[in-house]
Amino acid sequence: MNRFAVVCILVLARADYSPAITFEEIFSALKTHEKIWVHRRSFLGESLKCNYNEKLLFTESHYVFNECYKSGNEIAKVAAHGKIYKVKRSGGFKSAMNVSTIQGSFRTYILQFWDPRELCGVLTFRNSSGRKECELHSRARVGRHFKNCMGQYTSHCKNEKYVEYVIDNVNCK
């Protein structure tokens, strides 16, 4: 289970849509133990219930968090560490994060989009086969449509044939 998910996306006090928002800005605004919820993804993963990332520590370019998901009646937690940096892409630089877990998994996430009004964002990564995968994250657990984020989610994954997995976060705490 490695859906960093989210890591990433949360409320910043900005009124504009800025493509330059970084993982650093997102994580520094989170309080310790605050959650970022995974709402959609293009891969099955461990569980389709109660998927979120819980902040433990953030210092400059390092983010320590728990990847959480429902396993039976319990919430499983996997400790993860993210190293944040910038990567050059067409049109400029994007915020990236190498995430490793104590179980030995590793992924490089790219923050493709963040909407400070909808409090959501889109992350992508390449799986072990080289296929691009997508995730939609938000600070809100449930109850939002995420119009702009859904448009970006679809846009970033449009050239792939995906089964979309919607995460059930309704009865989660």
> What are the pLDDT digits (tens) for 63-101?
999 999 998 889 999 999 999 999 998 878 899 999 999
Q: Is residue 173 part of a domain?
A: no
Residue type, 45: G
> What are the pLDDT digits (tens) for 110-132?
999 998 888 899 999 999 999 89
59 CB-near residues (< 8 Å, 6+ apart): none
Domain count, the chain: 1
Cβ–Cβ < 8 Å for 32, 106: no
Say whether 155 sits in a helix, a strand or coil: helix
Q: Is residue 25 part of a domain?
A: yes
pTM: 0.82
Range of the domain at 9: 5-166
> What are the pLDDT digits (tens) for 38-51?
999 888 877 788 89
Query: What is d(CA 131, CA 77) in angstroms, rounded to the nearest whole number?
Result: 26
Query: What is d(CA 67, CA 49) in angstroms, rounded to the nearest whole number?
Result: 13
Q: Is residue 171 part of a domain?
A: no
> What are the pLDDT digits (tens) for 142-160?
767 889 999 999 898 876 6
pLDDT band with cut points at 50, 70 and 90 for residue 102: confident
Q: Is residue 14 part of a domain?
A: yes
Q: Is residue 103 part of a domain?
A: yes
Q: Is residue 48 part of a domain?
A: yes
Average pLDDT, the chain: 82
CATH of the domain at 55: 2.40.128.20
